Amino acid sequence: MSAENLFIVFDRIDLKADRWASRIIAVVIMLLVTLLHSLRPHTGVRVINAFGIAKIVVLLGIVASGVVVLAGGLPTSRIPDPYANFRQPFMGSATEPYGYAIATLKVVRYPRPGSADASGEHLRRLV
């Protein structure tokens, strides 16, 4: 949960999601998490596991709702054509290899900070 989402959850508070309020909430949450893991490490692990299980349950709910829609479990008046997205799924997609190479690089490189070392980027900055 991000700091800006907390403003949505606590909508009754007359605070705006400005930059400093988001930072203050983020720092407070980080301090609380640090205290939790410092004082009660087993409880911290349980909290992390509970969040992980909650994410999996939500994901399974999304998948199940999609299966229900595709199986015809809802009246057609609510979703007139549930198969419309599957007719031409790659229409308008890039067909050049450059787009696929850049997409692969973004997936591999950005989530893992250490991959910059493997690519030699830190050496290029020094030169």
> Is residue 67 located within the same domain as residue 102?
no
> Is residue 58 located within the same domain as residue 86?
yes
Q: Give residue 82's pLDDT.
A: 82
Which positions ≥6 away from 44 have C-beta within 8 Å? 33, 36, 37
Please tell me the total count of domains within the chain.
3
pTM: 0.54
Structure tokens at 3: 């700091």
Instruction: Give how far Cα 75 sits from Cα of 18, 80, 96, Å.
Output: 43, 8, 41
> Is residue 51 located within the same domain as residue 87?
yes
Structure tokens at 6: 């907390």
Report H helices in 1-127.
3-9, 19-39, 41-70, 97-109, 115-119, 121-126
> Is residue 54 located within the same domain as residue 83?
yes
**What string of pLDDT tens digits covers the 127 residues of the chain?**
555 665 566 665 565 667 887 888 889 999 999 999 999 999 999 999 999 999 999 999 999 998 888 888 877 677 788 888 788 888 888 788 888 888 888 877 665 555 555 555 555 555 4
> Is residue 104 located within the same domain as residue 121?
yes
DSSP secondary structure code for residue 126 in this structure: H
> Is residue 86 located within the same domain as residue 100?
no
Q: Give residue 4's pLDDT.
A: 60
Structure tokens at 90: 């790659």
Among candidate residues 58, 63, 62, the one with its CA nearest the CA of residue 1: 58
Q: Give me the domain span that covers residue 77.
A: 44-91
Q: Give residue 101's pLDDT.
A: 87
> Is residue 108 located within the same domain as residue 125?
yes
Q: Are 7 and 15 in contact (CB under 8 A)?
A: yes
Q: Token match 């400093």: residue? A: 20
